[in-house]
């Protein structure tokens, strides 16, 4: 029996015939699928890290959940013993709602006095004659959180009627209060003699910046506190004595109004970005909802829960909402360019194989059958490549969200598998003969194309209107507003495609008058570029628009951080005391001026909380910041920093305002103060003196204080002159400046502008968003370059054949290179110019709806002093990508010309060629 030969499978045959094309397609799909899968995982990763950092990196008083119960006169000693407090601590932990969990290592509980007790011992330091005040506390597990430097830990129990008790102090407290093991501090008791507190040991805190020691900083470090009085403020020490938990009952006998406390440091290792809404709801319930009732059911009706964790979560939510649309713009741009490149690659494959579907169609093949074969052929390559890209994204980008990544990679595979069969089969839906020229100049837009273009125009207008009318700080990642720059680029591309023939026609006539043939031939070749070149123009315009918009965003972020850093420090560095009203010691200004790099050091007097009446004769209803300055130096500093420059003569004193008894001082004020004062004089009573002020100038900002309601006067006219802040300008080195300040005076801090600027980028959400944005822009640029290469590759056979024919007519190699180079320039120049203008237009149109402050600055509370960061066009970001397009186009065209001119012409002149 004769055996019938079985035809080789279609897919295997095609893959063996064109392995290079299959590998290239697989590589394109794998890279695109990796980017599509990595993007949502990267966003989730930086949002998760941002949430954890926002809580863990916040100051402990802002993140800890504190539960308190007052221990009134009727409280029995048994209720404050260690066993009872430990049982209540476990009850508090059990009452925490998910996802709130406790960090057991940094959580603490115990009993403390809420009212500081003044010490009656004459030997204790009293800076201004005021005795030091102490807080008594019995924190749990002191031995685990401190190292004994001298003496021993207190252990002796005590009752409410005890006359003496043991305590420990930290090393900072011992140094500031001159205490040591064996010292005795006497504190008042309610209706009894003083309580003798004997110091048994000096301890050094472990992890002093963690919650155990920093929720109440005086437990670790004594504070020099100012007491407001007539004249200059008077200072006293405010410190803490650490008692053993067994001695907690002794606090019941003092006048310190004791209370039990449970400080729960939140754990963050289990939190993800998806937990943010649930965490916000849990905190709200814990502070004023059902979970608060659960806590009170365990601790009593007097229990209160206090935390600022809700503010941190609101700040995180606001930052995420503001960052989302900005990142969505880059993602939409890169995604659009990637889709265009996939379409171009499919078009290149369809053009290479356009005779195969025609032959199959002529032999009776159905469109479905032909498309199914092409779909199978493409899917064999695309699906494994997309799966590989997905696996790489899961492996390289840490996140627990797999669904969005799989959807992104699947969408890439679906698009790739669908585009090639559609593009290959669509031209053969009807039988036809040779269709003639198909180029940008000869093509006539159809009605369907016109309707599609008008639809895109309407969408672009709607997106721009939505983004412009939305509050810049409101955030929100709606799809229409996020894709606005992409839609603007699409509309511009469609307009340029329609206008493309006009400049070619205008340049054709002058070119014909030239003596050479290169110019006219180059223009004719540019005009005959295939209509599919519109996709190249579209990809380039969208990429350039996204790159210009993204570069402007990043430049605006850098500028906002620089401006906010200057606003915070008032110059290149700021020197101030630990407390607000600590005056600068003698010799400090001269020591700072002697540091290398210091251009100028301006000393100013800053007094916060000065009352200002809203009308004459009425007690102060507005608190302002009084700033006393030396007019000349301060005006020069304001001019150099751009923070409210004013003429020094504005602060020249004009005379007395009340018969010579109350001086009248001209002042430069903030707008809110100017609105309150109007044209009238106002009486100011402050520690610096009593005087009247009148408005001599209004400025939005001033270097000494960031964003406050301020009054700037001449310090020489103040009764009590005491400079408290030193503003330094110049390229000074931080170590040298701190050394000079430390040698001249202790207790003063130095804040550099560079450190303030670096502090604004401490959030992983910001840095992660910037990396994702830069990566998306870079991916869009890479796809745009690939689109350009595909376009040149698509026309390479025709250009090679044309050049070979012209070589036979006498065209030299040099002329051939010039011909191919000039032929590629019109479309590149059009894309570069159009992309630059479109990027500028996108920034100008969308800037009212974009506020970069959340992306630029680290924490939401610091934004109160910053009046927004508007988006502005950055020239370098617009011009450099456009120049890169022209350079890349010229390089590729010249490289192709060099390669073609080196080859012989015989191979390009085969008989029967349709090129």
Q: How far apart are CA 244 and CA 137, in angstroms?
A: 8
pLDDT band at 149 (very low <50, low <70, confident <90, very high): very high
What is the per-residue pLDDT across 857-888, written as a single tens digit (0 to 9) for each? 755 444 445 566 778 888 888 888 888 888 88
- What does pLDDT average to over the chain? 82
Tell me which of 470 and 88 has the higher pLDDT. 88
State residue 340's pLDDT score: 85
State residue 904's pLDDT score: 57
What is the per-residue pLDDT across 508-535, written as a single tens digit (0 to 9) for each? 667 666 666 666 766 666 666 665 566 7
CA angle 887, 893, 896 (to 5 degrees): 140
Whether 632 and 723 map to the same domain: the answer is yes
Mean pLDDT (whole number) for 89-99: 92
| DSSP percent split of the chain into helix, strand, coil, nearest 5 | 55, 15, 30
* 223 in a structural domain: yes
Whether 692 and 775 map to the same domain: the answer is no
Whether 131 and 218 map to the same domain: the answer is yes
Q: How far apart are CA 189 and CA 134, in angstroms?
A: 13
Q: How far apart are CA 674 and CA 682, in angstroms?
A: 11
Lowest mean pLDDT among 13-22, 285-294, 471-480: 471-480
Whether 549 and 658 map to the same domain: the answer is no
- φ/ψ of 45, rounded to 5, equals -65, -45
Exposure string for 253-290, b = 16+ CB within 10 A, e = fewer: bbebebbbbbbbbbbbeebbbebbeebbebbebbbeee
Tell me the Cα Rg of the chain: 38
Locate all alpha helices (DSSP H) within 18-100, ordered by sequence. 19-56, 60-63, 82-95
Lowest mean pLDDT among 157-161, 718-722, 880-884, 893-897: 893-897
pLDDT band at 479 (very low <50, low <70, confident <90, very high): low
* 80 in a structural domain: no
Asked if the model's pLDDT at residue 607 lies above 50, the reply is yes
What is the per-residue pLDDT across 749-790, written as a single tens digit (0 to 9) for each? 888 888 888 877 767 888 888 888 888 888 888 888 888 788
Identify the top-confidence range among 241-245, 351-355, 588-592.
241-245
pLDDT band at 225 (very low <50, low <70, confident <90, very high): confident
What is the per-residue pLDDT across 421-448, written as a single tens digit (0 to 9) for each? 887 777 766 665 555 555 555 556 667 7
Sign of CA dihedral 24, 28, 29, 34: positive
Tell me which of 903 and 269 has the higher pLDDT. 269
State residue 6's pLDDT score: 44
State residue 860's pLDDT score: 42
Whether 218 and 263 map to the same domain: the answer is yes
DSSP 613-639: -SSTTS---EEEEEEEE-HHHHHHHHH
Whether 390 and 460 map to the same domain: the answer is yes
Which region holds residue 722: left if phi is over 0, alpha if psi is between -120 and 50, else beta? beta
- φ/ψ of 868, rounded to 5, equals 95, 160
Whether 322 and 464 map to the same domain: the answer is yes
* 808 in a structural domain: yes
State residue 431's pLDDT score: 62
Asked if the model's pLDDT at residue 834 lies above 70, the reply is yes
Whether 672 and 736 map to the same domain: the answer is yes
* 310 in a structural domain: no
Indicate the burial class of 301 (C-beta count within 10 angstroms; 0-12, 13-18, 19 or more).
exposed
What is the per-residue pLDDT across 156-215, written as a single tens digit (0 to 9) for each? 898 888 889 999 999 999 999 999 999 999 998 877 788 999 999 999 999 888 999 999
Whether 768 and 885 map to the same domain: the answer is yes
Using a pLDDT cut of 90, give the percent of the chain over it.
Answer: 28
What is the per-residue pLDDT across 652-703, written as a single tens digit (0 to 9) for each? 775 555 555 778 899 999 998 888 888 888 888 888 888 888 999 999 889 9
C-alpha distance from residue 57 to each of 63, 146, 368, 660, 765 (Å): 9, 22, 60, 55, 13
Token pair of 542, please?
């969208």
* 454 in a structural domain: yes
Whether 251 and 119 map to the same domain: the answer is yes
Q: How far apart are CA 892 and CA 523, in angstroms?
A: 18
State residue 57's pLDDT score: 85
State residue 1's pLDDT score: 45
DSSP 714-777: EGGG-SS----EEEEESS--HHHHHHHHHHH-SSEEEEEHHHHHHHTT--HHHHHHHHHHHHHH
Asked if the model's pLDDT at residue 474 lies above 60, the reply is no
What is the per-residue pLDDT across 808-820, written as a single tens digit (0 to 9) for each? 777 777 777 777 7
State residue 862's pLDDT score: 47
CA dihedral 465, 471, 473, 476 (to 10 degrees): -60
Number of domains in the chain: 3
Whether 259 and 407 map to the same domain: the answer is no
Whether 717 and 680 map to the same domain: the answer is yes
State residue 343's pLDDT score: 81
CA angle 152, 154, 157 (to 5 degrees): 150
Domain end marker among 746, 780, 808: 746
Domain end marker among 746, 780, 796: 746
State residue 7's pLDDT score: 45
CA angle 306, 307, 313 (to 5 degrees): 150
Q: How far apart are CA 114 and CA 306, in angstroms?
A: 15
890 within 8 A of 881, measured Cβ to Cβ:
no
Token pair of 816, please?
């051939």
DSSP conformation class of 141: T
- φ/ψ of 601, rounded to 5, equals -125, 115
* 295 in a structural domain: no
Secondary structure of 203-265 in HEC code, one letter for each residue: EEECCCCCHHHHCCHHHCCCEEEEECCCCCCEEEEEEEEECCHHHHHHHHHECCCEEEEEEEC
State residue 39's pLDDT score: 93
Asked if the model's pLDDT at residue 465 lies above 70, the reply is yes
What is the per-residue pLDDT across 633-643, written as a single tens digit (0 to 9) for each? 999 999 998 88
Mean pLDDT (whole number) for 583-590: 85
Mean pLDDT (whole number) for 592-620: 79
β-pairing verdict for 622-629 and 710-714: parallel
Tell me which of 99 and 909 has the higher pLDDT. 99
State which residues form the domain around 781: 14-44+317-429+442-499+529-563+763-908
Token pair of 118, please?
């003044």
Domain end marker among 244, 270, 296: 270
532 within 8 A of 347, measured Cβ to Cβ:
yes
Considering only CA atoms, which of 756, 35, 731, 4 is closest in space to residue 339? 35
pLDDT band at 2 (very low <50, low <70, confident <90, very high): low
* 505 in a structural domain: no
Q: How far apart are CA 265 and CA 102, in angstroms?
A: 6
* 306 in a structural domain: no
Tell me which of 138 and 128 has the higher pLDDT. 138
Lowest mean pLDDT among 310-314, 739-743, 761-765: 761-765
Tell me which of 709 and 391 has the higher pLDDT. 391
């Amino acid at each position: 029996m004769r055996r019938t030969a079985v035809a080789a499978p279609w897919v295997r045959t095609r893959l063996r015939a064109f392995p290079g094309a299959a590998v290239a397609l697989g590589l394109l799909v794998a890279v695109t699928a990796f980017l599509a899968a990595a993007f949502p995982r990267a966003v989730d990763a930086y949002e998760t890290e941002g949430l954890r950092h926002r809580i863990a990196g916040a100051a402990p008083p802002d993140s800890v959940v504190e539960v308190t119960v007052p221990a009134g006169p009727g409280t029995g000693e048994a209720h404050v013993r260690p066993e009872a407090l430990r049982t209540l601590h476990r009850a508090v932990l059990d009452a925490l709602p998910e996802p709130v969990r406790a960090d057991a290592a940094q959580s603490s509980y115990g009993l403390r006095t809420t009212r500081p007790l003044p010490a009656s011992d004459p030997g204790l330091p009293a800076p201004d004659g005021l005795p030091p005040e102490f807080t008594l506390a019995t924190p749990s597990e002191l031995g685990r959180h401190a190292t004994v430097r001298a003496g021993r830990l207190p252990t002796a129990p005590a009752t409410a009627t005890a006359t003496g008790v043991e305590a420990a102090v930290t090393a900072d407290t011992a140094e500031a209060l001159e205490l040591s093991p064996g010292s005795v501090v006497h504190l008042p008791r309610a209706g009894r003699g003083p309580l003798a507190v004997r110091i048994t040991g000096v301890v050094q805190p472990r992890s002093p910046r963690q919650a155990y020691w920093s929720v109440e900083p005086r437990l670790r470090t004594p504070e020099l506190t100012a007491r407001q009085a007539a004249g200059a403020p008077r200072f006293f020490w405010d410190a803490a004595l650490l008692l053993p938990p067994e001695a907690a009952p002794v606090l019941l006998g003092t006048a310190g109004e004791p209370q039990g406390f449970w400080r729960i440091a939140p754990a963050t290792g289990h939190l993800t970005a998806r937990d943010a809404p649930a965490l916000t709801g849990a905190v709200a319930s814990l502070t004023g909802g059902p979970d608060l009732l659960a806590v009170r059911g365990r601790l009593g009706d007097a229990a209160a829960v206090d935390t600022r964790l809700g503010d941190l979560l609101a700040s995180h939510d606001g930052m995420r909402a503001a960052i989302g649309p900005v990142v969505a713009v880059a993602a939409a741009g890169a995604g659009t360019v990637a889709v265009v490149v996939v379409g171009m690659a499919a078009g290149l494959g369809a053009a290479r194989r356009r005779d195969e579907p025609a032959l199959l169609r002529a032999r009776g093949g159905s469109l479905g059958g032909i498309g199914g074969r092409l779909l199978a052929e493409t899917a064999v390559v695309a699906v494994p490549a997309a799966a590989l890209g997905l696996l790489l994204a899961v492996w390289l980008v840490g996140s627990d969200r797999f669904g969005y990544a799989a959807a992104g990679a699947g969408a890439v595979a679906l698009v790739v598998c669908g585009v090639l069969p559609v593009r290959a089969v669509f031209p053969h839906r009807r039988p036809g003969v040779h269709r003639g020229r198909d180029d940008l100049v000869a093509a006539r837009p159809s009605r369907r194309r016109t309707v599609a273009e008008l639809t895109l125009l309407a969408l672009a207008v709607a997106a721009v209107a939505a983004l412009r009318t939305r509050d810049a700080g409101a955030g929100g990642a709606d799809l229409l507003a996020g894709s606005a720059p992409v839609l603007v680029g699409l509309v511009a591309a469609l307009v340029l495609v329609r206008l493309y023939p006009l400049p070619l026609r205008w340049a054709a006539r002058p070119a014909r008058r030239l003596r050479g043939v290169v110019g006219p031939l180059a223009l004719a070749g540019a005009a005959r570029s295939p209509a599919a070149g519109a996709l190249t123009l579209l990809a380039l315009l969208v990429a350039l628009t996204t790159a210009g918009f993204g570069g402007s965003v990043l430049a605006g972020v850098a500028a906002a951080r620089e401006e906010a850093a200057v606003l915070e420090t008032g110059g290149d560095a700021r020197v101030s005391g630990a407390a607000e009203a600590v005056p600068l010691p003698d010799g400090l200004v001269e020591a700072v001026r002697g540091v290398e790099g210091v251009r100028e050091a301006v000393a100013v007097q800053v007094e916060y909380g000065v009352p200002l009446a809203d009308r004459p004769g009425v007690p102060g209803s507005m608190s302002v910041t009084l700033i006393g300055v030396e007019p000349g130096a301060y005006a020069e500093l304001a001019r150099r920093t751009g923070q409210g420059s004013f003429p020094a003569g504005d602060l020249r004193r004009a005379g007395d305002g009340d018969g010579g008894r109350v001086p009248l001082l001209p002042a430069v004020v903030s707008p809110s103060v100017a609105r309150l004062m109007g044209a009238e004089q106002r009486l100011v009573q402050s520690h610096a003196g009593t005087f009247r002020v009148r408005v001599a100038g209004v400025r939005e900002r001033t270097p000494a204080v960031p964003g406050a309601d301020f009054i700037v006067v001449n310090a020489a006219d103040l009764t009590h002159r005491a400079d408290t802040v030193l503003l330094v300008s110049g390229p000074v080195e931080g170590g040298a400046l701190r050394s000079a300040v430390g040698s001249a005076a202790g207790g003063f801090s130095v804040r550099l502008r560079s450190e303030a600027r670096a502090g604004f980028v401490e959030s992983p959400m910001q840095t992660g968003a910037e990396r994702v944005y830069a990566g998306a822009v870079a991916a869009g640029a890479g796809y745009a370059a690939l689109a350009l290469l595909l376009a040149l590759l698509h026309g390479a056979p025709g250009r090679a054949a044309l050049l070979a024919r012209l070589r036979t007519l006498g065209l030299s190699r040099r002329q051939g290179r010039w011909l191919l180079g000039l032929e590629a320039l019109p479309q590149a120049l059009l894309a570069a110019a159009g992309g630059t203008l479109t990027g500028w237009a996108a920034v100008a149109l969308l800037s009212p709806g974009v506020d970069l402050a959340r992306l630029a600055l680290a924490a939401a509370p610091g934004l109160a002093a910053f009046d927004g960061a508007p988006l502005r066009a950055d020239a370098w970001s617009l011009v450099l990508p456009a120049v890169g397009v022209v350079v890349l186009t010229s390089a590729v065209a010249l490289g192709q010309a060099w390669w073609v001119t080196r080859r012989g012409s015989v191979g390009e002149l085969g008989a029967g060629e349709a090129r």
